[in-house]
Amino acid sequence: MSQRLTIALDAMGGDHAPDMVIAGADIARERHPDVQFLLYGDAARVEPLVAKRAALKSVSEVIHTDDAVAADAKPSVALRAGRRSSMRLAIDAVAEGRAACVVSAGNTGALMAMAKFVLKTLPGVDRPAMASFFPTLRGESVMLDLGANTECTAENLVQFALMGSIFARTVLGLTEPTVGLLNIGSEDVKGNETVRGAATRLKEMPFPGRFYGFVEGNDIATGTTDVIVTDGFTGNVALKTAEGTAKLYTEFLRRTFQSSLTAKIGYLLARPAFQKLKARTDPRRYNGAMFLGLRGVCVKSHGGTDALGFANAIGVAANLATNGFNEKIKEEMQRLASANPIPDTKAAAV
């Protein structure tokens, strides 16, 4: 019998926790029969939900804690006061080797702060970046950062580009992924000093991929590049805008096909095609962003997702842990560091 993969879950993280977390874990259990869960949270609320699902109960352990990180908690406060929170204990399980990965739908800033403090970063990485897949006309692309770092230096963006390229090679199987820096124009003179500085360095350095140059917002959906690099503020705005646009067009279509009898008949005829379209653009399908650059697999789920979306986030964590993705990131970063040393920005600031 193959050894089970242990996944630590922050059972109290997310807008609809713990119900959504437990239901999502049950869906993930069906998809990944070789996983087992460590569920950190309020046992009085979590255990009754698990008890209703016999199959999930057989592969789960509930670890009680009264504390949970609030959605509006400041990262610094959560880091100091949340040592016994469900989020922190789930991360600790990875650091201590009791779990292969952690998944949380809780406070993004707190998760980043705790994960960076507990798991530490890989050599050559100053800040972890949140990365995930993005649907495009060409298939899928990788986009980072999606909200972990609201302010970045040029060197941060360079590191994001390197990690994003490795991510695309490892997960998407691309031999030479193209990397683009998100900007307000494609010309070299466009953008702020940080973006231009990152572009200058990426043009000069060899890395596993090909630097395309600047890309604009409309290039995200067209799939102009395999990897899109930006700061967390811009990346999160772009992500939420895309999600909102998808919902807007879905609602427009619904209202249009209800506008007349002819439209309703037309919908019935086209219903299979629209169901495929809905599935292709469903944000839950792409739920689950990984913090690249940590010494452990940590996946952030959208806080407002449902059970299906959370199950997909668990699936991302399971796949990354099973395929040894973090070790590949570590090996590639070490190889790149020896071939093309990255300046020590911390030392330079002293």
Q: What is the pLDDT of residue 281?
A: 67
Q: What is the pLDDT of residue 269?
A: 84
Is residue 39 within 8 A of residue 61, CB to CB? The reply is: yes
Which tokens go with 23? 């239901």
User: Which architecture characterizes domain 1-121+293-324 according to CATH?
Assistant: 3-Layer(aba) Sandwich (3.40)
What is the rounded end-to-end Cα distance, in angstroms, of the chain?
54
Is residue 235's pLDDT more than 60?
yes
Q: What is the pLDDT of residue 180?
A: 95
Which tokens go with 144? 């980072």
- Choose the weakest-confidence range: 27-41, 92-106, 196-210: 196-210
Q: Which residue has the tokens 């002293």?
A: 350
Distance in angstroms (rounded) separating the CA atoms of residues 335 and 346: 21
Q: What is the pLDDT of residue 350?
A: 40
Q: How far is CA 322 from CA 8, 60, 318, 348, in A?
A: 14, 19, 6, 38
106-117 pLDDT tens trace: 998 899 899 999
Is residue 161 within 8 A of residue 207, CB to CB? The reply is: yes
Is residue 182's pLDDT more than 80?
yes
Average pLDDT over residues 108-128: 89
Domain parsing of the chain, residue ranges: 1-121+293-324, 126-288
4-26 pLDDT tens trace: 899 999 999 999 989 999 999 99
Using a 10 angstrom Cβ sphere, with 0-12 exposed, 13-18 middle and 19 or more buried, the burial of residue 310 is buried
Is residue 42's pLDDT more than 80?
yes
Domain 126-288, what fold?
Isopropylmalate Dehydrogenase (3.40.718)
Instruction: For residue 298, give the H/E element and its range.
Output: strand 297-300
Q: Report which of 9, 64, 61, 16 is spatially closest to residue 42, judged by C-alpha positions.
A: 64
Q: How far is CA 167 from CA 107, 120, 141, in A?
A: 24, 19, 10
Question: DSSP character for 207?
Answer: -
Phi then psi dihedrals of residue 137, to 5 deg? -65, -20
Is residue 279's pLDDT more than 60?
yes
Using a 10 angstrom Cβ sphere, with 0-12 exposed, 13-18 middle and 19 or more buried, the burial of residue 130 is buried
Q: Which residues of 34-47 are buried (b: 16+ CB within 10 A; e: fewer)?
A: ebbbbbbbbbeebb
Average pLDDT over residues 48-65: 95
Average pLDDT over residues 76-101: 94
Is residue 349's pLDDT more than 50?
no
Ranked by mean pLDDT, which of 78-82, 284-288, 327-331, 335-339 comes out on top? Answer: 78-82
Rg (CA), the chain: 21
Q: What is the pLDDT of residue 186?
A: 84
Alpha helices in the chain (DSSP H): 19-31, 43-51, 54-57, 75-81, 86-95, 108-119, 154-171, 193-204, 217-222, 232-257, 261-281, 307-322, 325-339, 345-349
Is residue 202 within 8 A of residue 161, CB to CB? The reply is: yes
Q: What is the pLDDT of residue 100?
A: 93
126-288 has the same fold as 1-121+293-324: yes
- Give the model's confidence band at 70: pLDDT under 50 very low, under 70 low, under 90 confident, else very high: very high
Q: What is the pLDDT of residue 341?
A: 56
Distance in angstroms (rounded) separating the CA atoms of residues 140 and 152: 25
- Choose the weakest-confidence range: 128-132, 216-220, 236-240, 266-270: 266-270
